[in-house]
Amino acid sequence: MSIDRKLLSGVTVLIAVVEAGTIARAAEALGLSASGVSRAISRLEQCVGARLLARTTRSLSLTDEGRRFYEQVGPHLAGIEEAAIEASGSSNTVRGRLRVNIDPFFSRMVLAGHLATFLGRYPAVSVELIMRDSVGDLVADGFDLALRFGEPPAGSFVARKLLETRVLTVASPSYIKAHGRPRHPKDLEGWDCLDFYDAANARPYEWEVRRRKEVIPLRVKARLLVSDSGTLIGACEAGAGVAQILELGCRHLLDSGRLVELFPEWSDERFPLYATYPTRHHRAAKVRRFVEFCLEVMATGA
């Protein structure tokens, strides 16, 4: 079997550029000059007969042809790398740069306090946690995976549901002392509530409560709208109003009495967390171990 070494070399350079995000960073990682990387990409484009990268002075992204090419060859290159690592007899197969499009709430409230453990467990891995409003284009943006709440977007993705967490309606003890405690969820339509902005859909999240199969939609009056989960929880703790939050990452606030669940019997609404991957057949060891670690953290009740 004949192997075109120049083609294989060009593919390696293309993968490095996509993962690094810029030609300069890819050149540094490969030990080449920026012009050498550009020439390698040009040769690869001539070889396959298609333009793979759209380059300007300010940005770099995959063309449609480049995205399809990357999705097809990426898994094979990752498989070769993993096979080489395993063949070497090395026990430390988890290595390289891991780039994750991560939900801000999950990153801050669940994962942040455990990252030192992950980095200590896998010293050959460097991690980039990038907070975005949506999944976007994982391939063009150079992400290995996305960890996002809500249903995954339609498209050429592979999604795995990691868990479902309850949606709780809460207020602070100081707010309850000042305003009383609502007896029924419908009572909230006349109370001060705190809205959370759904950036992916450009609107506030809709309020509802569930008890088994019974669903009550709520049209609340929100005097405060925020797009940051930490601000929402902090304002609720300070007595600014009633909020709906995820139980995941917030259980300690309820157990310590800093927040009070208002309707325990109406807390059957669930919100899913998905790991979403580019369309690839193989998962690099670093990606598998990171997802396993996140499941491990969540199993502890974080």
DSSP readout, 38-58?
HHHHHHHHHHHTS--EEE-SS
| pLDDT, position 83 | 61
Is the confidence at residue 3, as pLDDT, over 60? no
Average pLDDT, the chain: 86
| pLDDT, position 77 | 66
Number of C-beta neighbours around residue 286 at 10 A = 24
| Better-scored residue on pLDDT, 167 or 20 | 167
- Residues of the chain with pLDDT > 70, as a percent, come to 87
| Better-scored residue on pLDDT, 114 or 55 | 114
Scored b (16 or more CB within 10 A) or e, 113-145 reads ebeeebeeebeebeeebeebbebebbbbbbbbb
What fold is seen in the domain 1-91?
A: Arc Repressor Mutant, subunit A (1.10.10)
The Cα-based distances of 93 to 67, 88, 141, 289 in angstroms read 27, 10, 25, 10
| Mean pLDDT value across residues 54-70 | 79
Determine the Cα–Cα distance for residues 49 and 173; give it in Å rounded to an integer.
66
| Mean pLDDT value across residues 169-195 | 94
The pLDDT confidence band at residue 140, using thresholds 50, 70 and 90, is confident
Phi, psi torsion values for 148, nearest 5 degrees: -135, 145
| Mean pLDDT value across residues 143-157 | 83
Determine the Cα–Cα distance for residues 186 and 193; give it in Å rounded to an integer.
12
Scored b (16 or more CB within 10 A) or e, 8-34 reads eebbbbbbbbbbbbebebbbeebebee
| Better-scored residue on pLDDT, 300 or 76 | 300
| Mean pLDDT value across residues 32-58 | 84
| pLDDT, position 280 | 56
Residue 278 per-residue DSSP state: E
- As annotated, the residues of the chain forming the CATH 3.40.190.290 domain(s) are 100-302
| pLDDT, position 302 | 58
Whose structure tokens read 């395993």? 86
Is the confidence at residue 284, as pLDDT, over 80? no
Q: Which has the minimum average pLDDT: 164-173, 187-196, 220-229, 278-287?
A: 278-287
Contact assessment for residue 109 and residue 234, using Cβ atoms and an 8 Å cutoff: no
Is the confidence at residue 283, as pLDDT, over 70? no
What fold is seen in the domain 100-302?
A: D-Maltodextrin-Binding Protein; domain 2 (3.40.190)
